[in-house]
């Protein structure tokens, strides 16, 4: 029986060689799925999004993809489902998995992930594209307690952390016009003149009775002229009318 074209006995021998002489504890058999729905959704101005997986593992003796608890192409597909959203009324987007490899190169664990997001306008004309690629190389863990599956799972998770950052950066850089704006116009704030410290704001004038126009404000009084005692021009109506006062002659 084979796994992706590689005999199972060869896979077992490779796993033992990578992990040393075996493990001192029980092997972890359950790994939580890699999810990215806690990250912001990239809202695209398209009506639909599809996913295409164009990657085929080599199946050679150095290919470790099939041993990973969460294969890279499955993690990349989940990232697209969690992070890309269709928020438009026309057009479509296609998320393409171009590479999702895990391999052994000597004592190193190598990974290479590559994806592409193509945007098609309403007439099915390609209107834009963004590519994201990440590559990583790490020494194989020296501890014999780290199993092959656990090492590949942790390595894939770190690769996907980098891919999420790179994908968002590339989409915002090259497909910014296809993103729904997250900014909204701020709520207008009614401005009020500032008062000097220690002063009291002027009170509002009372509203006039219904059906009546507000009374005009009285004209400012002119300063009295020296030597005069009667009402001065400009202030008629502000004082009671009556005969002018008489003065006695000494």
Residue the block writes with tokens 């171009």: 98
| Confidence (pLDDT) at 15 | 43
167 vs 215, which has greater pLDDT? 167
Spell out where 4-47 has E strands.
Answer: 6-7, 42-44
Over range 182-209, report the average pLDDT: 47
Cβ contacts of 117 within 8 Å, gap of 6 or more? 84, 93, 94, 95, 96, 129, 130, 131, 167, 171, 175
Q: Does some domain include residue 111?
A: yes
The answer to whether the pTM exceeds 0.75 is no
What is the predicted pLDDT for the residue at 84?
97
49 is a domain residue:
yes
Asked if residue 167 belongs to a domain, the reply is yes
* pLDDT value at residue 61: 85
Cα distance between residue 221 and residue 214, in whole Å: 21
Range of the domain at 78: 36-178
Residue 94 burial (C-beta neighbours within 10 Å; 0-12, 13-18, 19+): middle
In a domain, 162, yes or no: yes
Measure the CA–CA gap between 155 and 32, rounded to whole angstroms. Answer: 14
CATH code assigned at 158:
3.30.160
Instruction: Kindly state whether residue 42 falls inside one of the protein's structural domains.
Output: yes
Mean pLDDT of 183-200: 44
CB-CB contact of 159 with 136 (8 Å): yes
pLDDT at 28: 62
Query: What are 4's two structure tokens?
Result: 């992706």
Q: Is residue 76 part of a domain?
A: yes
What per-residue confidence (pLDDT) applies to 233?
47
**Helix pair 148-174, 72-83: axis angle to 10 deg:** 40
Residue length of the chain? 250
Evaluate whether residue 219 is within a structural domain. Answer: no
Q: Is residue 249 part of a domain?
A: no
Query: Using 50, 70 and 90 to split pLDDT, how confident is the model at 144?
Result: low
- CA gap 154, 151 in Å, rounded: 5
Residue 208 has pLDDT above 70, yes or no: no
Which residues are 7's β-sheet partners? Answer: 2
- pLDDT single digits (tens) 120-132: 998 899 999 999 9
Say yes or no to pLDDT of 193 above 80: no
Please tell me the total count of domains within the chain. 1
Rounded Cα distance, 130 and 169, in Å: 10
Query: What was the pLDDT predicted at 187?
Result: 40
Q: Tell me, what's the pLDDT at 198? A: 53
More confident position, 50 or 105: 50
């Amino acid at each position: 029986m084979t796994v992706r074209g590689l005999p199972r006995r060869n896979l077992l021998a490779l796993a033992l060689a990578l992990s040393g002489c075996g493990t001192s504890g029980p092997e972890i058999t359950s790994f939580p799925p890699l999810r990215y729905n806690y990250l912001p959704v990239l809202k695209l101005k398209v009506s639909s999004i599809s996913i295409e997986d164009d990657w085929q593992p080599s199946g050679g003796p150095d290919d470790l993809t099939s041993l990973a608890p969460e294969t890279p192409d499955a993690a990349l597909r989940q990232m697209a489902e969690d992070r890309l959203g269709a928020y438009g009324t026309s057009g479509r987007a296609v998320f393409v998995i171009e590479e999702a490899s895990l391999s052994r190169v000597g004592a190193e664990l190598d990974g290479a992930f590559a994806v592409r997001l193509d945007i098609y306008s309403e007439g099915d004309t390609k209107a834009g594209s963004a590519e994201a690629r990440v590559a990583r190389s790490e020494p194989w863990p020296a501890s014999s307690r780290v199993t092959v599956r656990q090492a590949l799972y942790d390595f894939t998770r770190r690769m996907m952390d980098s891919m999420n950052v790179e994908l968002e950066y590339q989409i915002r850089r090259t497909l910014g016009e296809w993103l729904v704006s997250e900014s909204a116009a701020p709520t207008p704030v009614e401005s009020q003149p500032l008062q000097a410290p220690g002063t009291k704001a002027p009170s509002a004038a009372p509203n006039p009775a219904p059906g009546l126009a507000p009374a005009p404000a009285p004209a400012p009084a002119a300063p009295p002229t020296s030597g005069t005692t009667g009402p001065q021009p400009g202030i008629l109506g502000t004082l009671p009318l009556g005969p002018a006062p008489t003065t006695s002659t000494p």
